Structure formats: structure tokens, C-alpha cells
Amino acid sequence: MLFKLSFKNMKKSIKDYSIYFLTLVLGVAIFYMFNSLDSQQAMLEVSKSTHEMITLLISMLGFVSVFVAVVLGLLIVYANNFLINRRKKEFGIYMTLGMGKRQISKIILLETIFVGMISLIVGLAIGIFASQFMSVLVAKLFEADMSDFKFVFSRDACIKTCIYFAVMYFAVMIFNTITVSRYKLINLLNATKKNETVKIRNPFLAILIFIVGASVLGYAYYIVTVRSNTLRAEKDLIKPILMGIVGTVAVFWSLSSFILTTIKKIKNVYLKDTNMFVLRQINNKINTTVVSMSVICIMLFMTITILSSSLSLRNSMQKDLLEMTPVDLNLEKMANIPEVYKNTYGKEVQSTKEQREDSKLLISETLKNNGLDMSVLKDIVEVSLYIQEDLTLEKFLGDKFEEIDKEYPFLIYSNAEEIVKLSDYNKIARAYGIEEYSLNDDEYIMLCDFDNQVGIRNRALADGNNNLEIAGKTYRSKYNECKKGFIEMNVSHSNTGILIVPDSCNLTEKMKEKYFLVANYNAITDEEKEEIEKIFIESDSTLIQNLNNNGIGIYGMTKISIIESSLGLTTIIIFIAIYLGIIFLIASSVILALKQLTDSSDNKQRYTILRKIGCDEKMINKALFRQIGIFFGMPLILAIIHSIFGIQFALNMLSGIAKANELLPSIIVTVIVIGIIYGSYFIATYIGSKNIIKEE
């Protein structure tokens, strides 16, 4: 009998279950999709390093999935609580007819199992098919070969999804049992007559709190944008974060009363149609949901910022990779190693005779002496880079140093500037296909393409008086600004400063800091290039390992390794960002939807009164639409305002990697994702609320 009653109740309450069911299906589908990568990677033709990156991604997604499962579990409990509250009167009737609380708990248990099984099956079906598109996305992001593409079912992801959701449902069942055991018959029968207590706030206090909250937010925005260069340690970020949270809560605490007080002054708006009713309803809702509205706003802010910034990072890095990897190989080696030198850990080390002798040789000579057939390389260019111990960034900045040091206290100003001769740089520029330069005998050029450093150096160069003494002679800057250029390949424009001097500059052997080699692989096919690549990758190369064991350190970057590491890093960031972003978005939408549905159920009598005083259905539906639109719109609008400054901060922190001009495509994608998910819940909420207020 309980089984039949539970099944009939579920069919009867199908409208109530729509938001609940949608959330469960989306949760299951997304959970399966992101945990099925282990099966999808098996069919991708990728290199060893890319395979390791995918393995790392899968491992990280496993940890993130635990957090996601907790969020989804809380959402399920929250949604289930809405369904229980909607049916209090029904449960009261059951108890009046002699049914015990244990039997009511069994009914709810069976209904939960029915909905859970159906949503799990539907969610897995959607997830399995959607994960095939995920395979294509993974292949595109990692630039993998998809020639062996086939339909993939991940047994492990399916089992993991079932286990996680079984644990969540077990928690829901316990919650339901505890909830029902606390119900009293009189409260159940009178449930529909009870509404939340509405607190009418002092309008003057509300306006004051609103101004204070907005001011706190404004100052937080100022810190993370104008003064973002001072935020380098974790403790520095706590202040603007706390200010953002406090400001958000203050704005929502006062917003409804502030709006109501303001619009009441505009009589032709306040008294028009059902505006008075809508504003009163909004005022009541926001007054009783300050914390939840603040949490929703922060989650939406995180969704917008995470998605926009991560996608922008991907677009910027892809573009930079084309410019920053023009050849196959960069190698470098220390020059003039002294008898005692400091290693990378700052510890003094005694050098060997072999090290000191080798440090006077070019890299190509060292490679030949250690058995490398140099025919594997072509287009070889070798140059020397120099330093002058007393020519530091502080010296370069001159009289601008003190003001710049106050603005950027975390910069290291004591490092010596790197110097390269004009002809040597032009050889590299020719190999890279970038701009070459010319100089008079008394001129120098500062090359810099790292955005933050460009701005700092340009301030020193702007007045044209930035003369430098190099190797006993004074040189003036040819330009009043930095010029673009680089020597070492990298994932992005990260050259913080290189001085180009004329060939006539008296740079001595003692000033020589390191040797630098640029070359291409003497190969045609990708397979041939990958074989040569192994010679210069330490983990695969006997040559490099032997050199390092003998204390002769040759370090380098290869085009293949830079591209693969960059693709791996950005792909991991994007996947986790999308995963968390969508979960936060769903969580925000669900909380708003269920809160609105609960309010519609509680306020049915008010809509009945509207009908009695002459409002037709069109006017009532319009009032409901406005009400839900404002309720959904308020946290989203404030989240968008937060995001404008949050994204700027993220771009400042990722300066040189993510670019502001790459934001538009990312913002468009973010808007589409939010529009689909947030919009779907808005429409479902409106339809559900409309059905509820029509119920007799």
C-alpha cells in the first residue's frame, strides 16, 4: 500500500519535483562527464608529457569532485526540504487518519528512491552521450589525434557517480526521518496559514547602511585594481575579500528598503498597475533572505570571474605560443664559473677544474666534446650575454626609483641587468623572424615585453635623460620607451629587460654571464623531431644527464616541451574552472528557484486577493514575472559589478599571460553558459510559480 501511495504521490507532485529533478539530472550528468576522462584519454594519440598532464588533470578532478559532491549533496538536502515543506498539510491529514510518523517516513523514503533512480538513470544517459563531446574538447585542447575516436563508456566514472549519489541520498533519507519525527500535528495542519515574519526596517537606517555598504565595496574595488601591485602575499588579499563580503551583505540588508523608500517617492511609478504589490513582495523576500542572497551573489561572481578569466588565459596563451616558440631549441650555459660560486639554492659550491675550463667554451663545442653529432641541428646561432654587477634595475630607474619602489615594494631591484651586443641580438631576431634594430656608438635600447615591467621602465625612459654607464662609457637611450623583443623562448611574453648595446661597447670576458644557443632540428616529420627532442630533454637524455653529473649544466627550452606544458597547464585550469563554475551556477540557480517556489506557495492567498479586487490573470502573471525577474536579477547584477573589478584583478595577477583584449570571446561564452543555465531555472521557476498560485 505504501509503495502504491508513494508512486501516486510522486505522479501527483510531478510539477513540484521538476526543479528537484532538473538539478539531480544536471548534477549526475556533469559529475559523470568530468570523471570519465580516464576512459576518454585511452583513445587519444598523445606524447608522454601530455599523457602525464592528462593523468594529473584526472587526479585533480578527483579531488575537486569531492568538493562538488558536498555542494550537490547540500543542494539535494535543500531542495528536498522544499518538497517536505510543500506537503506539510498532506502529512497532517495522513496523521489525522491514523498513519504514524514511521509510515510517513517510509512514504518519503520510497518517493526519494523513485525520483533518485529516475534522475540517476536519465542523468547517466545524458552524461554518457555528452562525454563523447568532452572527448572532442579534450583532444582539441591537448591537440591530440582523434583518428581512433569511438564511443566510450567509463565504467569507473559510472560506479563513482552511483556511489557518490547513493551516499548523498542516504544523507537525505536520514534528514527526512529526523525532520518528520519533529513534526507536530497542529503545526502540519496549520502550515499553509503561516508565513515568514516580515521585518520592516527603518528607511533612514537602510539608506545609511546602503551607502556604507556601497562605500566599502568601492574601496575594495579600488584596492584590487588601482593598488593591486601591493597585493602579493595571501594576507594582503584577506582585507579586500572580507570587505567584499561585508559590503555585499550590507547592500542586500538595506537594498529592498532603500528601493522601496526611493520608489515610493515617485508616485506615478509606485501606484501604477501592480507595482506596489511587487515592491512589497520583493521587500519581504530580500529582508528574510539577506544571507542566502549574499551567498548567491558571491557564487555568481565566482562563476563569472572564474569562467571569463580562465577562458581568456587559454586564448592569450595560445596566441602567445605562436610568437614565443619560433624555433625548435634554446640552450644556455654558465660562463666564467669561478672556483667558488653560489648554486640555485644560494649555497656556496666549490667548482671543478673541468667545470671552469668548460665554462669558457661555446655550447656547441661542449656538445661536440661530449659526443653529440651536431648534424641533428641546423640554423644554429650562438651568442654571449653579459652583466655589469653595479648596473641593476635600481640603477636603471635612476631618480624614479624611490617612487616606483613605494608602488612596487615586492620587486627585486638588486639584480644586474642582462646585456647583449647588437649584432648578436640581430642574429637571434633574424632566426626568430622578429624586428632587428640599429644603434649609434653612444646609444642603447631597452628590450622588454612583460607588461608590468614595460610600464615601470617606460617611466624611467620617458624624459630622455636615462643615461647609463656601461663598461666605462656613458650611453643614452635611443628611444623614450621600451622596444619589443626577447631572447629566450617561453610560454608568454616574459622578458623583464635586456639591454642592447653597440658592438663597439667594451664588454670584457669577465663580464660574460652565459652562452646562449638557438637552433632548429634537422628533421622534416614530427616523428623525426620527437626523436631529436629526446636528446635535449633531461629525463630522456643520457647526454644531458652525464653533463649534469659532471657539473656542466646545460639548460634549455624546446618548442615541443613549451607547447605541451602550456597546453597541459591551461587545460587543467579550464577544466577545473568550467567544472566549479557550472556547479556554483547551478547551486545559485537552485537556491533562488526553490526560495521563489516556496514564497509562491506561501503567498497563494495574496494572489487570490488580487483576483478578488479585479486583477485579471494577465496582470497577475506580469506581476509574478517582474517579481521573479527582480529576485533573480539583483544578485546577478551585483555579481556582474563585482566581476568587472574581479576580472581586472585576475588579469593584473596574470599580467604577461592573460590579456584584456582576449576577454571578449571569453565573456561571450560565459554569458551564453549563464544564460542557458540561469535562464532555464528562471523560466522553470516562473512556470512552476504560475502553476502554484493557480492551485485551488
Mean pLDDT, consecutive 10-residue stretches, the chain (696 aa), reads 56 62 80 74 54 69 76 71 65 68 70 76 85 69 58 79 80 71 58 50 77 90 76 69 88 74 70 71 68 84 83 73 88 83 67 81 87 88 92 90 84 90 94 93 92 87 86 91 91 88 91 92 86 75 70 81 76 77 83 78 76 79 84 89 85 60 74 88 85 69
Which residue type, as a one-letter code, is found at position 491?
V
CA geometry: angle 60, 236, 243, nearest 5 deg: 95
CA-nearest of 119, 15, 32, 31 to 70 is 31
Instruction: State the virtual CA torsion across 129, 131, 137, 139 in degrees, nearest 10.
Output: -110
Is the residue at 54 inside a domain? yes
Is the residue at 328 inside a domain? no
Grid cell of 415 as nine digits:
639584480
Phi, psi of 157 (to 5 degrees): -65, -40
Report, in this order, helix, strand and coil percent for the chain, each rounded to 5.
Answer: 70, 10, 20
Number of domains comprising the chain: 2
Which pLDDT score is estimated for 447?
94
Is the residue at 280 inside a domain? no
Q: Domain end: 502, 530, 550, which one? A: 550
Is the residue at 657 inside a domain? no
Tracing cell 629526446 back to the chain, one arrives at 534
Which pLDDT score is estimated for 393?
92
Coil, helix or strand at residue 145 = strand
Which pLDDT score is estimated for 73?
74
Is the residue at 169 inside a domain? yes
**Which residues on neighbouring strands pair with residue 342, listed in sequence order?**
348
Domain that holds residue 6: 1-194
Q: Domain end: 515, 550, 585, which one? A: 550
Q: Domain end: 493, 522, 550, which one? A: 550
Buried b (16+ CB within 10 A) or exposed e, 32-64: bbbbbbbbbbebbebbebbbebbeebbeebeeb
Coil, helix or strand at residue 343 = coil
Phi, psi of 443 (to 5 degrees): -120, 155
Q: Residues 303, 581: contact at Cβ < 8 Å?
A: yes
Contacts of 612 (CB under 8 A, 6+ apart): none
Q: What is the C-alpha separation between 591 and 196, in angstroms, rounded?
A: 17
- 386: enclosing H helix or E strand: strand 377-392
Is the residue at 437 inside a domain? yes
Which pLDDT score is estimated for 48?
58
Which residue type, as a one-letter code, is found at position 503?
D
Q: What is the C-alpha separation between 214 and 231, in angstroms, rounded?
A: 22
Q: Rounded to an integer, what is the distance from CA 556 to the centroid of its chain? A: 30
**Which residues on neighbouring strands pair with residue 384, listed in sequence order?**
515
Which pLDDT score is estimated for 344?
57
Is the residue at 182 inside a domain? yes
Which pLDDT score is estimated for 196?
46
Q: What is the pTM of this model?
A: 0.70
Is the residue at 483 inside a domain? yes
Q: What is the C-alpha separation between 164 and 159, in angstroms, rounded?
A: 9
